Amino acid sequence: AFIARFILGYLYYLIRSQERYESASDLIAPAMFFMGAAFVALVARIMLRTTRDLLRVSSLEEESATDPLTGLKNRRAFDQCWKVELARAKRFAIPLSLLVIDIDHFKDVNDSYGHAVGDQVLIKVGQLICSCLRVSDVAARYGGEEFAVIAPHTAPNMAALLAERLRAAVQRDACQALGQHAAERSITVSVGVAGVNDLALSGERMFESADEALYEAKRAGRNRVSMAGSVNAAPPAEFGMMLAKPAF
């Protein structure tokens, strides 16, 4: 707008001042300035349009990487982050852990209270998971009632502590999503934890290990954390004490 006003003002100046010019050569310098202003206006217009296009593309990319319900990353975006973090862990021999989280008896919630309430439970659990994570951690809704978390620079035993913290947070606060039915039942999650102990381990194998740990937590009674390779899933009351024991 400023450049447009400048050009219009300059044209007005040329028209009002044309009597003072004695020959066509006197108009060369003003004409050059005018063409320069027109060029700047054209460049500014192109830059503005390009900026808008880039913002639109960025917004579309963000939407394509985000779960529309919870606002967390979706599975495709999570898998991309996972490949990057796994490659970094292998290259620099740094710890990396994976958490797979599943809402216990979620089908019963949908059947009892409807999908609208079920959606609120998913949103609340996603918020509680994020509230327990560090800036470097990556959380996603991996599908249905299943969530996943990448914990970079985190050994499995420390990731298990993180898992227990978010399990406890969900048990404490997730029932708020049930609204008037909050007193009728609790909302809990089971968590499987796996870590990179073998640098040759594939990403698929780590997911399998975390899933196996999750299923062990389910078999052991749900609402608990299980580490890949552990014989039994630890119940919530015992989990902190188990992690506190020194390893010999």
Biggest alpha carbon–alpha carbon distance for the chain: 100
- What are the DSSP E strand ranges found in 91-184? 96-103, 138-143, 146-152
Residue 147 phi, psi (nearest 5): -120, 160
DSSP 231: S
- What are the DSSP E strand ranges found in the chain? 96-103, 138-143, 146-152, 189-195, 225-227
Name residues whose C-beta falls within 8 Å of residue 231's C-beta, 6 or more positions apart in sequence.
none
Q: In whole angstroms, give the CA distance from residue 152 to residue 204.
A: 17
Helix axes 2-17, 28-64, angle to 10 degrees: 170
Residue with tokens 């909302």: 187
According to DSSP, the residues that pair with 150 across neighbouring strands are 98, 138
Q: Is the dihedral of CA 80, 63, 173, 218 positive or negative?
A: negative
If residue 37 lies in a helix (H) or strand (E), which one and from where to where? Answer: helix 28-64
Residue type, 54: L
Residue with tokens 């300059």: 10
Catalytic residue numbers read 145
